[in-house]
Amino acid sequence: AQSVAQPEDQVNVAEGNPLTVKCTYSVSGNPYLFWYVQYPNRGLQFLLKYITGDNLVKGSYGFEAEFNKSQTSFHLKKPSALVSDSALYFCAAYYGGSQGNLIFGKGTKLSVKP
């Protein structure tokens, strides 16, 4: 079965420190992977995607993600966290071919303390 796992419900980081939000996936075929962020009382915002090519993908707001095929992972990273990065982060994978769609992980709450 297709699935996306975010093993941590919450990640706590001090401002200025690097952050990592973990994601692993299980989809058939080539993976197409996405990260979204949700701020309180807002819709999801697209951060970045991996379709093919370089394993390190750069996205919005200084975020990047590293695709690792052997570990079936797509971890979100940022070198220096900001308090304003505090939000709910969702990893998603596309499945199902031409009539498929996104399957989302449960989400990881990122808390950045000053």
Partner 1 sequence: DSGVTQTPKHLITATGQRVTLRCSPRSGDLSVYWYQQSLDQGLQFLIQYYNGEERAKGNILERFSAQQFPDLHSELNLSSLELGDSALYFCASSETSGRFYEQYFGPGTRLTVT
Q: How far is the CB of 56 from partner 1 (least distance, A)?
A: 18
Q: Examine residue 113 and tell whether it contacts partner 1 (CB under 8 A).
A: no
d(CA 2, CA 16): 36
How far, in Å, CA of 91 to CA of 41, rounded? 19
Please tell me the distance from the alpha carbon of residue 67 to that of residue 85, in angstroms, as a whole number.
Answer: 21
For partner 1, the binding residue among 10, 45, 55, 71 (CB under 8 A) is 45
Binder among 40, 54, 70, 101 for partner 1 (CB under 8 A): 101
Work out which of 9, 40, 53, 99 binds partner 1, going by CB under 8 A: 99
Beta-bridge partners for 78: 19
Closer CB to partner 1, 6 or 85, in the complex? 6
CB-neighbour burial class of residue 99 (10 A; exposed 0-12, middle 13-18, buried 19+): exposed
Residues 1-30 that bind partner 1 (CB under 8 A): none
Out of 7, 42, 68, 69, which residue is the one contacting partner 1 (CB under 8 A)? Answer: 42
Q: Which is nearer to partner 1, 30 or 70 (CB)?
A: 30
Q: Tokens 């031409």 label which residue?
A: 98
